[in-house]
Structure 1
Amino acid sequence: MRRVLVGVLVTTATVALTVAAPAAAAEPSVEPAAAPGDVVTARQISAPGFVYARTWVITYSSTSATGAPITVSGTVVVPLGANANTPVVGFAPGTHGLGDQCAPSRHLEAGDETEGLLIHQYATRGFAVAITDYEGLGTPGEHTYIAGRAEGNATLDVVRAALRLPGTGLSPTTEVAVVGYSQGGHAAGWAAQLAPSYAPELNIVGYAVGAPPAHLRTVAEHNDGGENVGLVMAAGFGMDVTYPELELAPYLNDAGRVAFADIRDDCTSDLSKYAGHSMSDFTTEDVLARPEWVARVDEQNLGGSTPRSPVLLYHSNGDEILPVSVSVGLREAWCDGGGNVTFRRTNTGPHAVTAALMSPSVTAWVADRLAGRATAGDC
């Protein structure tokens, strides 16, 4: 899937990624964080392809799904010449895996980030881009994969961190947009729902939410026994490490104990080894039917509250991983809540291809919001 995304993006991108950035001067770390969004450490890097920008790898303070203070890593890209009028895009990445080596910040520094061209489409328009790694991906601890509150908080806090990072020239009152696709769509959707209470000071003018796993049970049932069941296993792992009362280990058989010990450091491509399996191959009972799991899994669903800024929600009818029905239901929930939602239900093919094909129009929609242009939406 990731190879397909790279292939399509390379043929459509207008930015050459082969240009090496000039050597960057080392910067001292800033003081330890005291509040969500405070920068803990900052290191300027030479990120291949970002010759037109200054780029930092940072760690910053955030809040876990259970309300605990955590430290998250991420990347901040600031075009040369940025000033107080430069908007910021909070970029929530799609699934990268569970191991620290999978973190987007590491791949951006190495020059092989599969969503790098999506990031370039915003940065080359002159927008600063703040990219989160999420909790436990690139920092100590396990990755709380698909835990909605942790994802949303980390996405909002990386924007805060970018605005507080010394030397960027950015203003804390500048316009902000939040974008993401797949897991990133889930994170962007959660950011949209959490922002009014968690980060009310951010001047967020729009959200682009692409193919979110908005209803986890539907997604799990759709993929069980299929090519992408490894993602379901990763989500089970993420739930288990997020919530103390969830204990997966007692319900694993011998094969399950081996598999779940193995996936904890797998990247997305490694999960394909489980294609064709069912969760029942690894468990002694249906964990998702247990009351404590039902409650926590359902907490991750989007639609419980309505974003206060305009939303572009998009999803392909041909998505083989995340069925379009989850976005149909999400649109209805947000519209019923009085939201301003533009829903693009497309015929752009498979999951990864859609991310690439929709990127130019999504970027243009985001640019319009950052330029102050209004949108009526569909509801």
Structure 2
Amino acid sequence: MTAESYAPTSGAHRPGHLITAERMKAYLVPRVRMPARAWKIRYSSTTATGRPTTVTGMVLVPPTPYAGPRPLIGYGIGTQGLSKYSAPSRQIALGIEYEASVIASALRRGWAIALTDYPGLGTPGDHPYVIGRALGPAVLDCMRAARQLTEAQLDPDGPLAIFGYSEGGNAAGWALQLQPTYAPDLPIVAGAVGAAPADLEAMISALDGSLFAFLLIYGIFGLNAAYPEIDVYQYLNRRGHRAVARFGRTHISRAVPLGAAMSSKRLLDHVTQSPYEIPEVLARLQDNRLGSIAPKAPVLIGAGTHDQVIPYSQARNLFREWRDGGADVHLRTMPIREHITGGISFAPAAFAFLARHLVQAGRR
């Protein structure tokens, strides 16, 4: 992989425009290859405020033929971290991506995958963590770019679906919500949204003081990345600034033990005033609340009842809101499952759900 992949570009800013592509090696674990041909790509997308930006990602295509048009899955990956070395394409190139087995199981079904690195992880700038109005377009535009990759030989009429869990669930949910207006050229046939932090305002009280309170620091970082004009950092005290600087350099595997070791897990110990009480900040949180737009495609929502990171109520409330908005939505409740075991359980059910709809679409 060359450094050129990470260089800024002055190319076309049409959302989903494929800027560069180069072959790469993708590993399930070190020295064990993924069952796919892989490309590192750079493409155009839009920020949370609608401005043009450049995002990196990857396209994976199984080497074996597929009976009919090969499906393409827009894959929203779970929390990777905030540092530049957290880009999932980099993790997969090294064979250290924690979702690699889930990705491989989708590839073994014969599906191609468009996997975004999200803004700010493979490109300059900061990562707008769980800001759906930035992540949703990144997923959709990665799918658009993948279809332009001639070497991948994807059928332009092949069926499309979207999957994501955790931060990826937020990204997938927003992609499904925005698709009819943002990407009507992508006829999505189904989606799967697992353990999505849907209501960011409610997530504050759920995380504050918990073992995963460091995710509130991640959230402040993400808000500032997406909306620098509101200057969320002005409300931090010295401890808060140190925390943002420290966690802004982490991959999630480092952030979890760092978060557990935090001397204070209370948000108020890191701020002069809670930024989440500021009207301008609250307005951005509410604008990124997943559930306000009913997707057009059928969706499976899933969550574990004992999820210690994203409360089960987030999935339940999202299901009710989308259902009441007229969506064809289904809820898979996973008893006893917490966040990690919930993800392990959700993927097979989600892929079975997507497969049914992809097969139906392929017969039309």
Between the aligned partners of 2:265 and 2:335, the Cα distance in structure 1 is 29
Give the equivalent residue in structure 1 for 2:96: 112
Describe the shift of the 1:348–1:176 C-alpha distance in structure 2 as closer, same or farther (beyond 3 A). farther
Does residue 196 of the first structure (1) align with residue 180 of the second (2)? yes
Does residue 274 of the first structure (1) align with residue 259 of the second (2)? yes
1:211-360 maps to which residues of 2 (within 5 A)?
A: 211-272=195-256, 273-275=258-260, 277-360=265-348
Between the aligned partners of 1:249 and 1:370, the Cα distance in structure 2 is 45
Describe the shift of the 1:39–1:31 C-alpha distance in structure 2 as closer, same or farther (beyond 3 A). farther
Which letter maps to 2:54? T
> Contact 2:194 / 2:346 at 8 angstroms: preserved in 1?
no
Which letter maps to 2:24? I
Corresponding residue to 1:63 among 34, 40, 46? 46
Give the equivalent residue in structure 1 for 2:84: 100
> How far is the alpha carbon of 1:364 from its aligned partner?
1.2
3-state SS of paired residue (1:226):
coil
Corresponding residue to 1:36 among 6, 10, 15? 15
> Contact 2:303 / 2:346 at 8 angstroms: preserved in 1?
no
3-state SS of paired residue (2:151):
coil
Which letter maps to 1:59? R
Between the aligned partners of 1:200 and 1:50, the Cα distance in structure 2 is 35
> How far is the alpha carbon of 1:341 from its aligned partner?
0.5
1:112-191 maps to which residues of 2 (within 5 A)?
A: 112-191=96-175
Give the equivalent residue in structure 1 for 2:70: 86
Structure 1 gaps, min length 5? 1-22, 375-379
> How far is the alpha carbon of 1:339 from its aligned partner?
0.6
Describe the shift of the 1:52–1:212 C-alpha distance in structure 2 as closer, same or farther (beyond 3 A). closer
> Contact 1:82 / 1:170 at 8 angstroms: preserved in 2?
no
> Contact 1:78 / 1:168 at 8 angstroms: preserved in 2?
yes
3-state SS of paired residue (2:73):
strand
Give the equivalent residue in structure 2 for 1:209: 193
> How far is the alpha carbon of 1:173 from its aligned partner?
2.1
Between the aligned partners of 2:127 and 2:151, the Cα distance in structure 1 is 30
> Contact 2:13 / 2:53 at 8 angstroms: preserved in 1?
no
> Contact 1:90 / 1:177 at 8 angstroms: preserved in 2?
yes
Of residues 48-57 and 278-287 in structure 1, the stretch that sits farther from structure 2 once superposed is 48-57
Which letter maps to 1:318? H
Give the equivalent residue in structure 2 for 1:53: 36
Which letter maps to 2:19? V
> Contact 2:189 / 2:361 at 8 angstroms: preserved in 1?
no
TM-score by length of 2: 0.91
> Contact 2:13 / 2:45 at 8 angstroms: preserved in 1?
no
Structure 2 gaps, min length 5? none
Give the equivalent residue in structure 2 for 1:16: none
3-state SS of paired residue (1:292):
helix
Dislocated runs of 4+, deviation >4 Å: 81-84
Between the aligned partners of 1:168 and 1:71, the Cα distance in structure 2 is 21
TM-score by length of 1: 0.88
> Contact 2:165 / 2:196 at 8 angstroms: preserved in 1?
yes
Task: Give aligned pairs, total.
Answer: 348
RMSD: 2.1
> How far is the alpha carbon of 1:253 from its aligned partner?
1.3
Deviation by residue 1:299-339 (Cα, 9 ceiling, x = unmatched): 11111110001000011111011111111111111111111
Describe the shift of the 1:31–1:217 C-alpha distance in structure 2 as closer, same or farther (beyond 3 A). closer
> How far is the alpha carbon of 1:81 from its aligned partner?
4.2
Of residues 270-279 and 210-219 in structure 1, the stretch that sits farther from structure 2 once superposed is 270-279
Between the aligned partners of 2:79 and 2:35, the Cα distance in structure 1 is 27
3-state SS of paired residue (2:15):
coil
Between the aligned partners of 2:10 and 2:238, the Cα distance in structure 1 is 46
Between the aligned partners of 2:196 and 2:279, the Cα distance in structure 1 is 24
Give the equivalent residue in structure 2 for 1:18: none
> How far is the alpha carbon of 1:32 from its aligned partner?
3.6
> Contact 2:173 / 2:290 at 8 angstroms: preserved in 1?
yes
> How far is the alpha carbon of 1:348 from its aligned partner?
4.3
3-state SS of paired residue (1:122):
helix
Between the aligned partners of 1:229 and 1:51, the Cα distance in structure 2 is 34
3-state SS of paired residue (1:237):
helix
Which letter maps to 1:244? P
3-state SS of paired residue (2:291):
coil
Describe the shift of the 1:293–1:72 C-alpha distance in structure 2 as closer, same or farther (beyond 3 A). same
> Contact 2:34 / 2:104 at 8 angstroms: preserved in 1?
no
Of residues 220-229 and 34-43 in structure 1, the stretch that sits farther from structure 2 once superposed is 34-43
